[in-house]
Each structure stands twice: as structure tokens, then as C-alpha cells.
Amino acid sequence: MRARVLVRPKAGILDPQGKAVERALPALGFDGVQNVHVGRLIELDVEDPGQLEAMCEKLLANPLIEDFEIQTS
């Protein structure tokens, strides 16, 4: 099964990458942009999607500083 894992900086933790993007967009004329956060996308084929949660907690994300979201289709 194809799965996607979205990993984001936890709310409340300063996300300097998001801030940098947020500042860069208006400089290019794109106004009205707020709350930008930069995370990462991990795509993987898995035989047992039931293991995804454990994979995220153990390796793919650091739950102390990141939230993750698992998408399967």
C-alpha cells in the first residue's frame, strides 16, 4: 500500500523556515500570506499500514518537536 507521512513542526515551536518563506513571498508580490510552516513529506510503500504509527514515533518524526499525519489510499 502506498502511504504518505506528513511531518510538521509542532504548533508553538518557532519554525524559522516557515518564517523565512512567509517573509519571502510578499517580497515577490504575493500578499496576504500568513502562518507558513515548512515540514517534510515521506512517501513509502508498506505491506502493513498498521506499522506506520510506530514507524513515525520511532524514526520518521520526533514527537517532541514534530507532529505527523499518516495518509493511506
Q: Which residues bind another protein (CB under 8 A)?
A: 13-14, 16-17, 20, 59-60, 62, 64-65
**Residue 16 C-beta: closest distance to another protein, Å:** 4
Instruction: Give pairs for 49-58: CB < 8 Å, separation 24+.
Output: 49/1, 49/3, 52/3, 52/5, 55/5, 56/5, 56/7
**Residue 67 C-beta: closest distance to another protein, Å:** 14
Site of grid cell 499500514: 49
Closer of 14 and 28 to another protein (Cβ): 14
**Residue 44 C-beta: closest distance to another protein, Å:** 12
